[in-house]
């Protein structure tokens, strides 16, 4: 097959041959064709197909809402390509072509009875439409993986948390529903492809050229998780890190051998409450902002309470640390958090 004609199914304005019916002596094979097409059309009207359209519309709205914020990001360009593929799939309208072809099949299908059958060109047009539907879903899944891998990195860095969480959820849902629809389409194509020689052919209305050939079968889409294990590709499911609670830490410390604990009694006048600082309270930018607000409020009290961790830090150094943190936050949040954490640790510990 010529290289120029490998992707003839992707022609935007694919010219449909005229729907012509010819009289044949054996119409028994048309029954299985009618059954599999009818079952596929029923699947297109199931609730998951409606969810696919709703999620596709949500992705289009998210893209239009944030096109000025992310237009230079490679992940957002993948979302734009995904939206184009979804619009192309909507314009394909496979259900209309299948219903039109199914209506041209004879009402009574029997090996001993003749009847009017659509031509081979009409049947080949349906197979090419199925190929287009299948490969468009393949394109959709590629764009979903490319976009999700990029926006997952933003999510890990706490960038645009609400938007990226919603977008990744929509991408995962589109990817799942697309795999199901593509698998059904491949199953229908593989059942219809062997029936090509049974349809009558008209020399004047040939749909495929001499250097064009339909593939023998389409590959069924495997489960996303099993496919990811075989190919070592990341899935769209985010795996959260295990969080160790304070109670679990206390149990682990209790199991460790710390020797014999000697109790030392102190008078109430000599007992001093020691305030310890834990670096984990400054794990994210949001934690640092809460820490600054809490400590600033405590430092304004007279007298300053013992629970104030930054009590011993001079006023000018505390204000300078806040100013530097706010200035670096707009350019590099990770660096701003690192500098502020090192300053606090060096002053308190």
Same domain, 109 and 44: yes
Range(s) of the domain holding residue 173: 3-231
Q: In this structure, is residue 7 part of a structural domain?
A: yes
pLDDT of residue 265: 53
Question: Each residue of 93-108: pLDDT tens digit?
Answer: 899 999 999 888 887 7
82 and 220 belong to one structural domain: yes
Same domain assignment for residues 30 and 176: yes
Residue 151 lies inside a defined structural domain of this protein: yes
Domain shared by 21 and 127, yes or no: yes
Residues 92 and 183 in one domain: yes
Last residue of a domain, one of 215, 231, 247: 231
Residue 158 domain-assigned?
yes
Residues 37, 174: one domain?
yes
The answer to whether position 252 is within a domain reads no
E strand map for the chain: 21-24, 115-118
- Whole-number Å distance between alpha carbons of 255 and 260: 13
Q: How many domains does the chain have?
A: 2
pTM of the model: 0.61
Which pLDDT tens digit goes with each residue over 115-130?
888 888 899 999 999 9
CB 143, CB 79: distance < 8 Å: yes
Residue 228 pLDDT more than 60?
Answer: no
Exposure b/e, 14-51, CB count within 10 A at least 16 = b: eeebeebeeebeebebbeebbebbeebeeebeeeebee
pLDDT single digits (tens) 62-96: 888 777 767 777 888 888 899 999 998 888 889 99
Residues 279, 194 share a domain? no
- Which pLDDT tens digit goes with each residue over 249-307? 676 666 555 555 555 555 444 444 445 667 777 888 888 888 888 888 888 888 888 88
């Amino acid at each position: 097959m010529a290289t120029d004609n490998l992707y003839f199914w992707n022609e935007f304005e694919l010219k449909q041959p005229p729907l012509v019916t010819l009289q044949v002596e054996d119409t028994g094979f048309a029954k299985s064709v009618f059954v599999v097409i009818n079952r596929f059309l029923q699947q297109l009207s199931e609730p998951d197909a409606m969810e696919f359209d709703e999620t596709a519309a949500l992705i289009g709205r998210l893209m239009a809402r944030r096109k000025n914020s992310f237009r230079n990001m490679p992940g957002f360009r993948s979302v734009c390509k995904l939206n184009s593929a979804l619009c192309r799939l909507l314009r394909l309208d496979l259900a209309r072509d299948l219903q039109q072809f199914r209506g041209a099949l004879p009402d009574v299908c029997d090996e001993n009875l003749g009847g009017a059958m659509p031509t081979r060109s009409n049947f080949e047009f349906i197979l090419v439409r199925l190929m287009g539907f299948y490969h468009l879903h393949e394109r959709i899944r590629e764009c979903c993986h490319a976009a999700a891998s990029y926006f997952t990195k933003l999510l890990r860095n706490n960038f645009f948390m609400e938007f990226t969480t919603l977008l990744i959820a929509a991408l995962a849902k589109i990817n799942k529903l697309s795999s199901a629809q593509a698998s059904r389409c491949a199953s229908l194509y593989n059942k219809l492809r062997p029936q090509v020689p049974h349809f009558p052919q008209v020399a004047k209305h040939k749909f495929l050229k001499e250097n064009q050939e339909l593939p023998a079968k389409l590959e069924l889409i495997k489960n996303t998780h099993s496919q990811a294990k075989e190919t070592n590709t990341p899935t769209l499911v985010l795996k959260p890190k295990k969080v160790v609670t304070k109670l679990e830490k206390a149990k682990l410390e209790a199991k460790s051998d710390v020797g014999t604990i000697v109790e030392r009694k102190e008078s109430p006048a000599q007992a001093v409450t020691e305030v310890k600082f834990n670096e984990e309270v400054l794990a994210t930018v949001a934690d640092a902002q809460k820490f600054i607000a809490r400590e600033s409020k405590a430092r304004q009290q007279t007298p300053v309470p013992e629970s104030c961790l930054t009590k011993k830090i001079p006023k000018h150094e505390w204000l300078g640390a806040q100013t530097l943190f706010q200035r670096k936050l707009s350019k590099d949040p990770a660096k701003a958090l690192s500098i502020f954490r090192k300053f606090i640790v060096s002053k308190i510990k």
